[in-house]
Amino acid sequence: MLFYIFFNKWVIDMEIKGPKVKDYIKKFIVEPQKKVQLKKFDSGWVQNETLKALSEDAAKDLLEKKLARDRASLADAQELLAAAHEYGVLIVLQGMDTAGKDGTIRHVMSGVNPQGCEVHGFKVPSAEEHAHDFLWRYYDVLPERGMIGIFNRSYYEDVLVVRVHPERMEALPKKLGPDAKGFWEGRYKDINAFEKHLVKNGTVILKFFLHISKDEQKNRLLDRLQNKDKYWKFSTADLAERQYWDQYTKTYEEMLSATSTEYAPWFVVPADYKWMARTFVAEVVTSAIVGLNLSYPKVSDEQIKQLMVAKKKLESE
């Protein structure tokens, strides 16, 4: 009996193991159940110190070879993911305004076959979305087997922005709403259960918090105001949200502590240097897919025979 219980637990744990990552990445994973203090994660950490002093473009030029290698490895990994058709990959991107979510998506996407990747951005929910449970709008657009799905913002907004701005919360029955005891803990538990369910059904979940410092956000906002081509990127809403920096930090810390699990870990990505954040995300995604040890579908002897018949037919045309 004891052996049965042990074996059963082992089998379940095996199925819901987390992704494989490179060694340098490990220190940026939020340990499950550990209280997070974001100031202990260095947003300005880089692998290559000499690049720090360079402008973004100069760093990019120097890194171009590495970035190209990253893109090629990711493209290979994605092709294998699609061919094996066993797992889907869900990439969740969160971060303060200007943290670099869009640029990271462009970088990660640029190498992969567009047919194998889908991006979904989530804005303020519509009236229809607010009329359903908070996970409803996300469920329908989860990645299928063989696909990479990127969520630019996600169901984590439902424990972040609505906590900092309670007026943006959907109308729940009073007894069940945010004033009820244990409401937010309940949402964290729901999210953990939702993710466990997805992982057990073949979705690899990789969650990235793009971590920038408040000073770096100021630089990026100013950059948008100093450069005519970037005016369109500037939003006064971003400036208004900046006033809530400390509240967001606290809310992020609580969320990260409660929802980083072995099977769906949070990565706190050092994102003050854009090239660092992009390489980081590309490497995690690639090594997570490679770590699945997938193989291309085997072609049977019978199928080979049929292929040879087709080849002969074409050649004799």
Task: Summarize as ranges the residues that interact with ligand ADP (CB under 6 A).
Answer: 97, 122-125, 152-153, 157-158, 161-162, 168, 235
Of 37, 13, 9, the residue nearest 211 (C-alpha): 37
Pick the closer one to ligand ADP by CB: 62 or 194: 194
Pick the closer one to ligand ADP by CB: 42 or 238: 238
The least CB distance from residue 161 to ligand ADP, in Å, is 4
| H or E element in which residue 52 lies | none
Contacts of 168 (CB under 8 A, 6+ apart): 124, 161, 162
Pick the closer one to ligand ADP by CB: 177 or 297: 177
SS3 assignment, position 266: strand
d(CA 14, CA 6) in angstroms, rounded, equals 12
Kindly tell me the number of DSSP H helices and DSSP E strands found in the chain: 13, 5
The least CB distance from residue 240 to ligand ADP, in Å, is 10
* Bridge pairing between strands 203-211 and 148-152: unpaired
SS3 assignment, position 211: strand
Pick the closer one to ligand ADP by CB: 49 or 167: 167
d(CA 159, CA 272) in angstroms, rounded, equals 24
Pick the closer one to ligand ADP by CB: 20 or 122: 122
d(CA 73, CA 209) in angstroms, rounded, equals 23
The least CB distance from residue 90 to ligand ADP, in Å, is 17
SS3 assignment, position 162: helix
d(CA 66, CA 179) in angstroms, rounded, equals 50
Pick the closer one to ligand ADP by CB: 157 or 254: 157
